[in-house]
């Protein structure tokens, strides 16, 4: 038989179950036993039936699908969050559609429209670094689609948010460098339009102030945290009047670029320059020297985002009334780039 001739009714007759049970089994609904799912899927494969999730969503106004928008899937932190969200939602019988904005607010809006067209029941998003207008997400909520922001969250937009303890992470990183005897601690941060980089900057300044170390504006730089930008910043810092003895970078890509630059300049790490990054991605343990970094616990953030979304969908939280704000912990992981 051709796939197009087989209907869900045919499949239900084949396994001797109701159409609704078969539909739930095909959509991996958590109320359906694993043995029933296996029996239905085996029959579907035998008959050549292909389940159309979008068609089911149009029929039932329930897609069992959550949309996820991230800046880039290639970023270690977001890849880890995606894995955690997908694994957690799967336990509830939900699937995930993953989109990336490529740091473009315009593409972010396009992806949002795509997810609406796919009838997702909720949207989890980490905004592009350039997003400053969040009204398009308000439109989603007004249409009955809940939105949860994680990591890169809006500062003045009423919404559900899950973020890391950015201030504490930066404070710990900078305090550690001070404890190592550093005085001229440079900071390479991301755009201050993003609340996460703003809070890391505040944590950096607070640690300096706490230890009576002057804030030196000339050794603080902000830009999109790419490898190329980081190398350009290093040129400015090490050709300036005040040469840093330490650098706290707001991501690991930047910190690793600092190490790369130092090697070319024959600057010994950690003897003459100490470096701390942020995110604790999988390159930190294999770099030479290994990189001290702030652990963000992305798996915990992803799990919290998925569980919160399920609470909203199951109406354990009143939509649009009680906005939830959660903060995940951070931890400084000390390695060779900052101490012998």
Kindly report, residue by residue over 140-194, the tens digit of the pLDDT.
888 889 999 999 999 888 899 999 999 999 999 999 999 999 999 999 999 998 9
Q: What is the pLDDT of residue 51?
A: 67
pLDDT over threshold 90, residue 295:
yes
Confidence of residue 61 (pLDDT cuts 50, 70, 90): low
Instruction: Find where tokens 């957690």 sit.
Output: 88
Q: How far apart are CA 79 and CA 267, in angstroms?
A: 33
What pLDDT does 2 receive?
Answer: 43
CB-based contacts of 213: which residues, under 8 Å, 6+ apart?
Answer: 178, 183, 185
Radius of gyration of the chain (CA): 24
Q: What is the pLDDT of residue 55?
A: 60
Is there a contact between 278 and 255 (Cβ–Cβ < 8 Å)? yes
What's the pLDDT at 78? 95
Q: Is residue 14 very low, low, confident or very high in pLDDT (cuts 50, 70, 90)?
A: confident
According to CATH, what is the number of the domain 166-296?
A: 3.40.50.2300
Average pLDDT over residues 107-117: 93
CATH topology for 3-51 is: 434 Repressor (Amino-terminal Domain) (1.10.260)
Helix (H) or strand (E) holding 186: strand 185-189
* More confident call, 30 vs 83: 83
Domain residue spans in the chain?
3-51, 65-164+298-328, 166-296
Let me know if the fold of 3-51 is the same as that of 166-296: no
> For position 63, what pLDDT does the model report?
81
Angle, CA of 167, 170 and 174, to the nearest 5°: 140
- Span 277-290, pLDDT tens digits: 999 999 999 999 99
CATH for 65-164+298-328, options being 3.40.50.2300, 3.20.20.70, 1.10.40.30, 3.40.50.970: 3.40.50.2300
**pLDDT confidence of 3, banded at 50, 70, 90?**
very low
- What band does 58 get if pLDDT is binned at 50, 70 and 90? low
Has residue 201 got a pLDDT over 70? yes
- pTM as predicted: 0.81
Q: Please give the span between the terminal C-alpha atoms of the chain, in angstroms, as a whole number.
A: 70
Percent of residues, the chain, with pLDDT higher than 70:
94
The count of C-alpha atoms lying within 13 angstroms of the C-alpha of 332, restricted to the half-sphere facing its C-beta, is: 20
């Amino acid at each position: 038989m051709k796939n197009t001739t087989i209907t869900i009714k045919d499949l239900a007759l084949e396994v001797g179950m109701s159409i609704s049970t078969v539909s739930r089994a095909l959509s991996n609904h958590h109320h359906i036993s694993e043995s029933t799912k296996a029996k239905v899927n085996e029959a579907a494969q035998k008959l050549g039936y292909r389940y159309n999730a979008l068609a089911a969503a149009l029929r039932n106004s329930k897609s069992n699908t959550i949309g996820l928008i991230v800046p880039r899937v290639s970023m270690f932190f977001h890849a880890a969050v995606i894995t955690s969200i997908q694994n957690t939602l799967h336990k509830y019988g939900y699937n995930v559609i993953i989109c990336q904005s490529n740091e473009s607010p315009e593409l972010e809006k396009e992806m949002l429209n795509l997810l609406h067209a796919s009838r997702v029941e909720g949207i989890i998003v980490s905004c592009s670094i350039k997003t400053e207008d969040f009204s398009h997400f308000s439109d989603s909520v007004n249409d009955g689609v809940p939105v949860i922001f994680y990591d890169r969250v809006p500062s003045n937009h009423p919404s559900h948010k899950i973020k890391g303890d950015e201030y504490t992470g930066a404070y710990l990183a900078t305090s550690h460098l001070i404890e190592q005897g550093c005085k001229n601690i440079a900071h390479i941060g991301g755009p201050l339009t993003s609340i996460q980089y703003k809070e890391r900057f505040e944590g950096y300044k607070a640690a300096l102030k706490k230890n009576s170390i002057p804030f030196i504006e000339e050794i603080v730089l902000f830009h999109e945290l790419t490898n190329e930008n980081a190398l350009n910043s290093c040129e400015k810092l090490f050709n300036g009047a005040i040469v840093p003895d330490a650098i706290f970078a707001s991501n690991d890509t930047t910190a690793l670029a600092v190490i790369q630059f130092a090697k070319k300049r024959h600057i010994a790490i950690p003897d003459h320059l100490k470096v701390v990054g942020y995110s604790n991605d999988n390159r930190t343990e294999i770099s030479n020297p290994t990189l001290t970094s702030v652990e963000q616990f992305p798996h915990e953030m992803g799990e919290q985002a998925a569980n919160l979304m399920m609470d909203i969908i199951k109406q354990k939280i009143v939509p649009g009334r009680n906005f939830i704000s959660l903060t995940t912990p951070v931890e400084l992981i000390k390695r060779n780039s900052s101490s012998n």
